[in-house]
């Protein structure tokens, strides 16, 4: 009777660790300095969304329990988005509307990145330029980083996501 609760708690710790690694990779200062992602709520949202989408892409491509872990990770990401909105002073009444907007953006970007990763570097760069940079700059270097991350995650086994570390490449190593 207690086993499902123990398993859920262990899973929660693993998902929280995985979410923490995604956020740490997304907050790498190089992304905001050398890659010119804006260091504001929107820019941090884009960076977290990008890294989470890449991990979710890999988890969803795995056999069970990969897709179940992906769903747990999405739940954790949105829990943290909710907390972030509240910490920025968004009131309780406005949070659900903002969460809906964030959810649509998150899911749309995830689908767009997934399609772009199979369509070539030009399509990926254009997709990243539109979403991450609002078409203010080109995204060639960021697209190379995303491709390197996708390749690193592509060979990662479930244990990597269970115990870590997630093999995010160092952004400064991408020319």
Q: What is the pLDDT at residue 58?
A: 97
| pTM, full prediction | 0.91
Q: What is the pLDDT at residue 44?
A: 95
Per-residue tokens: 141: 């270097």
Tens digit of each residue's pLDDT, the chain (175 residues) = 444 433 455 588 899 999 999 999 999 999 999 999 999 989 999 999 999 999 999 999 999 989 999 999 999 999 999 998 889 888 889 999 999 999 999 999 999 999 999 998 999 999 999 999 999 999 999 999 999 999 999 999 999 998 989 999 999 999 8
Q: Sign of the CA dihedral 131, 133, 137, 142?
A: negative
DSSP 3-state assignment of 116? helix
Q: What is the pLDDT at residue 35?
A: 97
Q: What's the number of CA atoms in the CB half-sphere (13 Å) around residue 11?
A: 16
Q: What is the pLDDT at residue 90?
A: 85
Q: What is the pLDDT at residue 8?
A: 55
Query: Smallest Cα–Cα separation from 52: which of 87, 31, 25, 79?
Result: 25
Per-residue tokens: 153: 């995650």
**How far is Cα 91 from Cα 170, in angstroms, rounded to an integer?**
37
């Amino acid at each position: 009777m207690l086993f499902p609760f123990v398993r859920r708690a262990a899973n929660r710790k693993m998902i929280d660790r995985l979410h923490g690694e995604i956020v740490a990779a997304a907050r790498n200062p190089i992304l905001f300095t050398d890659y010119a992602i804006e260091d504001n709520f929107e820019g941090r949202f884009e960076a977290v969304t990008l890294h989470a989408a890449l991990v979710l892409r890999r988890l969803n491509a795995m056999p069970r329990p990969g897709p179940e872990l992906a769903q747990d990770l999405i739940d954790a990401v949105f829990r943290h988005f909710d907390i972030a909105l509240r910490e920025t002073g968004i009131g309780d009444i406005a949070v659900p509307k903002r969460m809906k907007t964030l959810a649509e953006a998150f899911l749309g970007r995830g689908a767009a990145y997934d399609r772009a990763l199979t369509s070539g570097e030009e399509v990926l760069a254009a997709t990243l330029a539109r979403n991450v940079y609002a078409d203010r700059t080109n995204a060639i270097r960021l697209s190379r980083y995303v491709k390197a991350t996708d390749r690193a995650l592509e060979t990662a086994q479930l244990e990597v996501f269970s115990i870590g570390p997630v093999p995010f490449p160092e952004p400064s190593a991408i020319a």
